[in-house]
Chains A and B, each alone.
Chain A
Amino acid sequence: MSAHVTAAHGAAHGAGAHEDSHGDGAHSYAIHLQHSRLGLWLFFISEIFLFGALLAARFYLWRDDHGAIVRPELDQVVGLIVTGVLLLSSWSMNMAETGMEYDDRRTFSIGMISTFILGSIFLVGVMIFEWGLIPFPGYTAHLKPWDGAFGAIVFGMTGIHALHVLSGLIFIAIVWRLGRLGHYSGEQHWGVEACAIYWHYVDLVWIFFYPAIYLIGHAVHH
Chain B
Amino acid sequence: MTLMSLGLVRGLVGQVVGTLIGFALIIIGRLLMGYDDPWYAEGAWALGSVFGTLGFLVGVGAMDDWFQWMVGRFPPIHHGPPKGKPAWTRYFGVDYNHKIIGIQYGVTSLVALMIGGGCAVVFRTELARSGLQFLSPELYNTLIGIHGWAALASILLGVGAMANYLVPLMVGADDMAFPRLNAFAYWINVPAIMLLLGSLVMNWDSGWTFYPPLSTRGSVGYQLAFYSIYMIGLSSILGSINIIVTMLLMRPKGMSLFRMPIFCWAMLATSLLQMTATQTIGQAVLMLSLERALGMGYFDPVSGLATATPNGDPILFQHIFWFYSHPAVYIFVLPGLGIISEILPVFARKPLFGYRWIAMSSLAIALVGFLVWGHHMFTSGYSPYLRIPFMLSTLLVAVPTGVKFFSWLGTLWGGKLTFPTPMLFALGAISVFLIGGLSGPVLATVTTDLYLHDTYFVVGHFHATIFGGFVFPFFAALYFWYPKITGRMYNETLGKIHFWLMTPAFWMMSLGQMTVGTMGMRRRIADYEQALGGMINDPVTVVRDGANVLISHGLGKVEVGHIIITIAGFTIAFSVLLMIYNLFNSLDVGELAGNNPWRSRSPEWQIPSPIPEHSYPTPITVVGEPYDYGLAGSTYVSMTPAPGGDD
Binding site for B on A (CB under 8 A): 1-3, 6-7, 9-11, 13-14, 16-21, 31, 34-36, 38-39, 42-43, 45-50, 53-54, 56-57, 60-65, 70, 72, 145-153, 155-156, 174, 177-178, 181, 183, 220-222
Contact = CB atoms under 8 A, between A and B. Distances in A.
Given A19-B74, A49-B279, A50-B279, A39 B178 contact: yes
Contacts of A155: 296
Contacts of A150: 304-305, 309-310
A148 B241 contact: no
A116 B74 CA distance: 25
Given A13-B65, A19-B74, A146-B296, 15 more contacts: A10-B181, A13-B66, A13-B69, A18-B77, A20-B76, A46-B279, A50-B282, A53-B320, A57-B298, A61-B312, A145-B295, A147-B305, A148-B311, A155-B296, A220-B309
Given A45-B276, A146-B295, A13 B312 contact: no
14 contacts: A21-B76, A35-B178, A46-B275, A46-B278, A47-B279, A49-B277, A53-B320, A54-B283, A146-B295, A149-B298, A149-B304, A152-B296, A152-B312, A174-B70
A200 B590 CA distance: 56
A183 B69 CA distance: 11
A176 B77 CA distance: 25
A61 B76 CA distance: 50
Given A21-B76, A146-B294, A70 B310 contact: yes
Interface in B250-289: 250, 275-280, 282-284, 287
B241 A20 contact: no
B54 interface: yes
B564 to A, nearest CB: 42
State the 6 A-B residue pairs at the shortest beta-carbon distance, nearest first. Answer: A148-B304, A20-B76, A146-B295, A152-B296, A49-B279, A10-B181
A146 B245 contact: no
A61 B65 contact: no
A46 B276 contact: yes
Nearest to A47: B279
Interface in B287-341: 287, 290-291, 294-298, 303-305, 308-313, 316, 319-320, 323
Contacts of B241: 11, 39, 42-43, 46
B280 A49 contact: yes
Contacts of B184: 6, 10
B309 A222 contact: yes
Interface residues of B, number: 59
A16 B74 contact: yes
Contacts of A61: 298, 310-313, 316
B316 A57 contact: yes
Given A11-B241, A57-B316, A6 B305 contact: no
B72 interface: yes
Contacts of A70: 309-310
B280 to A, nearest CB: 5
Contacts of B309: 70, 72, 147-150, 220, 222
B50 interface: yes
B19 to A, nearest CB: 16
A19 B74 CA distance: 8
Contacts of A21: 76-77
Given A2-B54, A148-B311, A38 B249 contact: yes
B297 A149 contact: yes
Contacts of A18: 77
B101 to A, nearest CB: 14
Nearest to A35: B177
Contacts of B181: 7, 10-11, 13, 39
B312 A49 contact: no
Contacts of B298: 57, 61, 149, 152-153, 156
A20 B323 CA distance: 42
Contact of A146 (B75, B279, B283, B303): B303
A183 B74 CA distance: 10
B161 to A, nearest CB: 20
B270 to A, nearest CB: 14
A10 B283 contact: no
B180 interface: yes
Contacts of B311: 61, 148-149
A216 B291 CA distance: 25
Contacts of B296: 145-146, 151-152, 155-156
Nearest to B185: A10
Contacts of B179: 17
A13 to B, nearest CB: 6
A183 B279 contact: no
Contacts of A6: 63, 66, 184
A174 B72 CA distance: 9
B75 to A, nearest CB: 8
A48 B278 CA distance: 11
Given A10-B66, A10-B181, A146-B294, A1 B72 contact: no
Q: Of residues A31, A56, A64, A177, which shows the largest number of chain B Cβ atoms within 10 Å of its Cβ?
A: A56
A56 B284 CA distance: 12
B127 interface: no
A3 B249 CA distance: 25
B104 interface: no
Contacts of A10: 66, 178, 180-181, 184, 238
Interface in B159-206: 177-181, 184, 188
B319 A60 contact: yes
B8 interface: no
Contact of B242 (A39, A60, A72, A153): A39
A158 to B, nearest CB: 12
B234 interface: yes
Contacts of B150: none
Contacts of A221: 308
A152 B289 CA distance: 12
B70 A38 contact: no
B237 interface: yes
Contact of A63 (B238, B284, B310): B310
A17 to B, nearest CB: 6
B72 A14 contact: no
Given A46-B237, A150-B310, A183 B72 contact: yes
A3 B227 CA distance: 13
B316 A38 contact: no
